[in-house]
C-alpha cells in the first residue's frame, strides 16, 4: 500500500471509525477508575492510564497484524469480525469497573480494563491495517485521544442516532470481507475484482439487514411488554 494514497487514507478512516465505535465506552471506564482519587491526581491518572492503554493496544495490534500473515488466520479472523459486527448491532455491553483508591491502582485498572475490552477492537484494526504498522499507530494516535476526551459525546450521539452503530458495524463487516477475500486459501475465488466487490456488498448488506430486523423485533417486543404491563 502506497504511503498517503487513496487506499492508505481509506484504511486509516476505517481504523478511526472502528476505534470510535468499538471503543466508545472506554472513557467511561477511565472516569470510573479515577473517580475516588483527589482532583489534582485524576488528570495524571487519566493521562498515564491512557498512554499505558495505547501502548498495550498498539503492541497487541502489531502482534495480531503479524499473526494474520499465517495461512488460514485471515479467514478465521474475518469470520470472527463478522460475528463482532453482528454483536455490535444487537447486543448492549455493560462493564463494571472498580474505582481505584490509589494512584497506581487506578492506572493499573484503566490499562487492564482497556486490554480486556479492546480484544475485538485489536482484531478489527489489524484487519483494516492490511499489514501496515504505520496505519495501526496513526489510527490509534488519532482515535484514542478522541475516545478519551470525547466519548461521552460519542455515546450520546450513538444513543440519539442509532444509524451510527449501523455504520460502524458496516465498516467492521466490510473489513471482515476484505480479510476473507485476501486469505491465500480462498484467494482464487476472488481473482476477479467484481466477484470480490459483489461478495463484500452482499455480505455487508445481509448482515446489516439481519441486525436491523433483530433490533426492530426487539423494540416491538419491548413495546408490547410495556403495553401489557400498563
The predicted-structure confidence for 209-229, as pLDDT tens digits, reads as follows 888 887 778 777 777 777 776
Question: CB–CB of 14/128 below 8 Å?
Answer: yes
State if pTM tops 0.85.
no
Which sign, positive or negative, has the C-alpha torsion 114, 34, 168, 6? negative
172: its cell numbers: 467492521
Domain-embedded: residue 93: yes
**Domain coverage including residue 222:** 6-229
Domain-embedded: residue 1: no
Q: Could you give the CA distance from residue 24 to residue 31 in angstroms, rounded to a whole number?
A: 13
Which of 93-97, 149-153, 201-205, 224-228 bottoms out in mean pLDDT, i.e. has the lowest?
93-97
SS (H, E, C) 15-80: HHHHHHHHCCCHHHHHHHHHCCCCHHHHHHHHHHHHHHHHHHHHHHHHHHHHHCCCCCHHHHHHHH
Domain-embedded: residue 57: yes
Would you tell me how many other CB atoms lie within 10 Å of the CB of residue 162?
A: 13
pLDDT category at 199 given cuts 50, 70, 90 is: very high
Q: Could you give the CA distance from residue 120 to residue 29 in angstroms, rounded to a whole number?
A: 17
Q: Could you give the CA distance from residue 119 to residue 104 in angstroms, rounded to a whole number?
A: 23
Domain-embedded: residue 218: yes
- Residues 13-38 have pLDDT tens digits of 887 777 766 665 555 566 666 666 77
Domain-embedded: residue 191: yes
Domain-embedded: residue 32: yes
Domain-embedded: residue 41: yes
Is residue 153 over pLDDT 50? yes
Domain-embedded: residue 154: yes
Percent residues over pLDDT 90 in the chain: 5
Query: Would you state the pLDDT for residue 198?
Result: 93
Look at 100 and 164; give whichever has higher pLDDT. Answer: 164
- The total number of structural domains in the chain stands at 1
Amino acid at each position: 500500500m502506497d504511503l498517503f494514497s487513496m487506499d492508505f487514507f481509506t484504511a486509516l478512516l476505517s481504523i478511526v471509525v472502528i476505534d470510535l465505535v468499538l471503543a466508545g465506552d472506554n472513557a467511561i471506564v477511565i472516569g470510573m477508575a479515577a473517580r475516588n482519587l483527589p482532583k489534582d491526581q485524576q488528570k495524571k491518572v487519566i493521562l498515564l492510564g491512557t498512554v499505558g492503554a495505547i501502548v498495550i493496544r498498539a503492541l497487541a495490534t502489531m502482534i495480531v497484524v503479524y499473526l494474520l500473515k499465517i495461512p488460514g488466520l485471515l479467514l478465521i479472523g474475518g469470520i470472527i469480525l463478522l460475528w463482532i459486527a453482528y454483536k455490535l448491532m444487537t447486543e448492549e455491553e455493560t462493564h463494571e469497573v472498580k474505582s481505584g483508591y490509589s494512584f497506581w491502582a487506578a492506572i493499573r485498572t484503566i490499562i487492564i480494563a482497556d486490554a480486556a475490552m479492546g480484544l475485538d477492537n485489536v482484531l478489527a484494526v489489524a484487519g483494516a491495517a492490511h499489514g501496515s504498522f504505520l496505519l495501526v499507530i496513526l489510527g490509534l494516535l488519532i482515535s484514542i485521544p478522541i475516545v478519551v476526551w470525547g466519548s461521552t459525546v460519542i455515546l450520546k450521539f450513538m444513543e440519539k442516532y442509532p444509524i451510527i452503530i449501523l455504520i460502524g458495524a458496516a465498516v467492521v463487516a466490510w473489513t471482515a470481507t476484505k480479510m476473507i477475500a485476501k486469505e491465500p486459501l480462498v484467494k482464487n475465488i476472488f481473482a476477479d475484482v467484481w466477484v470480490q466487490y459483489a461478495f463484500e456488498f452482499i455480505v455487508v448488506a445481509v448482515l446489516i439487514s439481519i441486525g436491523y430486523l433483530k433490533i426492530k423485533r426487539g423494540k416491538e417486543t419491548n413495546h408490547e411488554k410495556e403495553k401489557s404491563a400498563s
